[in-house]
Amino acid sequence: MVSPDITLETVREAHERIAGFIHRTPLMRSRSLNALMSADVVFKCENLQRAGVFKARGAFNAVYSLTDAEATRGVVTSSSGNQAAALSLAASSRGIPAYIAMPKGALKSKVNAVRRYGGNIVWVESRGAVPTSEEYEATAARIQDETRANPVHPYNDRRTIAGQGTCALEIIDERKNLDFVLAPVGGGGLLAGVSLVFKALGANTRVIGCEPEMADDACRSFRAGNIVPQRDPRTIADGLRTSLGDLTFSLISHNVDDIVTVSEEAIIGAMRLIWETLKILIEPSSAVAVAAALERKIPVSGKTVAIILSGGNVDLDNLPWRANQ
C-alpha cells in the first residue's frame, strides 16, 4: 500500500494557497430537511463553489503549487466533466494553458464550460462510444510529450487531495463536534481529503462515504481491503463512475468509518428534494450523500450531521423527472 504523505499541515497550506481564489461556500440548513432526517443537518454548499464544484479547490491548489518555470508549460488532465472545467478555470487564473483530454461524447454543457474558461480541448480517440482509461491516458501522454505540460490527476494526486480536504477545514471552523460527515465517493479525492482532516481534528466525527449501488467499487474495495475496479457503472451520478486510485484508497482505508450505497431512485428523489427545499441546484453525485441520510443508511437520528453537496453542474435539458411544458 502506498503512503500518501499528506498531513493536516499539507491541507492547511493548500487552504492558504487557494483562499484568495475559491469561494468560502456557505453552510445551509433547513427546518423541513431536519424534520425529514430527524437530525440537525448542515449542508456544505460546494455546488456554489467556483466552476460549480469542489474540484476547483484541488485544481487551484495544483496549479498554484507549480513553480513559475513549471507553470509556463501549462497543465494537462483527462476528464469528461467537472475536473475539465475546474482545471481550465484555475489555469486561466494563473495565465497558463490547460490541455484537457475529453471524450467526443462529452455533454455540450461540459464542453462549453471548458471553452468558457479558456481550456484547450484535445479529443480522445476511442474505438467504443466511451473511451477506456487506456485511451484517455494515451491521449494525455501524447499531449504531455508535445507540450511538456504538468499532469494533474482528477483525484489520485496529492495536490488534488489536499485541495479537496480544505472543504473540511471550513466545515470544522463553523461546526464543532459533529457526529457524522457525509461525502460522495467516486475517485475518492474529496472523501480522502475530508476524512484525513476529520480524523486529525474531529476524532469523534464518523466519516461516511456515500456511493451509488450501481457504482459501488469504493464500498467493495473498502470491505475487501484492496482496490476492486469499477465494472460498467450505469448510475445517473456521472461524477461517481470512476474507480479509486492507490492514493485515495490508502487514505480512505485509514480514515473513513464506513461506506454506504443508495439506489438510483433514492438519488433522484434526494436531488429533487434539495432543489425544492434549499432552492439550490445540486447534481446527482451530490444527491447520493443526501439520499444516504434520508434512507437511514446511516443512524443519523438525533445526531448532528454535515453533508457535503459536492457540485451543481446539471444538464437542464435532461433532468431525471418529467419536466416539460
The residues of the shown chain that bind its own copies, judged by CB under 8 A, are 26, 28, 32, 47-48, 52, 116, 272, 275-276, 278-281, 312, 316-325
C-alpha cell at 218: 469504493
Identify whether 310 is a catalytic site residue. yes
DSSP 306: E
* Alpha-carbon gap, residue 90 to 75, rounded angstroms: 10
Exactly one of 78, 88, 221, 310 is catalytic; name it. Answer: 310
Identify whether 65 is a catalytic site residue. no
DSSP 160: H
DSSP 317: T
Residue type (1 letter), 34: N
Choice between 204 and 325, CB closer to its own copies: 325
Exactly one of 55, 79, 80, 88 is catalytic; name it. Answer: 55
Q: What minimum distance in Å lies between the beta carbon of 171 and its own copies?
A: 18
Choice between 46 and 135, CB closer to its own copies: 46
Choice between 101 and 314, CB closer to its own copies: 314
* Alpha-carbon gap, residue 134 to 126, rounded angstroms: 10
Choice between 49 and 250, CB closer to its own copies: 49
At residue 294's C-alpha, the angle toward residues 292 and 298, to 5°, is 50
Let me know: does 214 contact 234? Beta carbons within 8 Å: yes
Report the half-sphere exposure of 131 (CA within 13 A, side-chain side): 21
Cβ count near 55 (within 10 Å): 33
Residues serving a catalytic function are 55, 310
